[in-house]
Amino acid sequence: MEPGRCLGIAGPNGAGKSSLLGALAGWLHPTSGEVLLHGHPVHGRVPAEVGFAAQEVSFYPHLSGRHNLELFGRLYDLAGDQLRNRVDALVERFELEDWIEREARTYSGGLARRLHLAIALINEPDLVLLDEPTTGLDPGSRSTLVRVITELLDAGNAVVMVSQVLADLEIVAHRLMVVVEGRAVLEDEMESVMARAG
């Protein structure tokens, strides 16, 4: 992966897409090969340079959205003005201003996914891993997510995004990988894939 580039990953259920993201994040050990981040292996550790948003949303439902962001920020040793500024920037980026002081358990599916993704970015990661990020999103939330991914790429982040929605991958991905039964059966630049497949 190169800075400012997005790899889109598609494939049927059970193909190994989420397992691949787990290996890239450092918490699953691949059966062969290795994952290097900035030239260093990630196996056995979850690097601070990686932001990971799993398929299932995960946060503390009885805390407010703001308190969730602050809690996860503290896990990365953010504090004081640095933490406040980071939380405020994410609240604005994900358009959560009207909801951020409410308990997360009151969030709709789309709002919950936006908070989940904001938490994944609290550490300002170099590499962002997104597993089915548009699942269950209404058109407005989906548009917000696509905008955020585009901003991340413009800022030089690398993004790996798993999605069954090829239309989303067409918008944000520079390269497409199709995984079937644990193997990449296709990997090519998105423009080439689109030119061949329409």
Supply the pLDDT for residue 198: 65
Which runs of E-coded beta strand occur in the chain?
A: 6-10, 36-37, 40-41, 50-53, 127-131, 158-162, 175-180, 183-189
What residue type is assigned to position 195 of the chain?
A: A
For each of the chain's 198 residues, which pLDDT tens digit applies?
A: 899 999 999 999 999 999 999 988 888 888 888 888 888 888 777 788 899 999 889 899 999 999 999 999 999 999 999 999 999 999 999 999 999 999 999 999 889 999 999 999 999 999 999 999 988 788 888 888 888 999 999 999 999 999 988 888 999 999 999 999 989 999 999 999 888 876
| CB 59 within 8 Å of CB 115 | yes
| CB 173 within 8 Å of CB 190 | yes
Cα dihedral 19, 25, 29, 31, rounded to 10, equals: 50
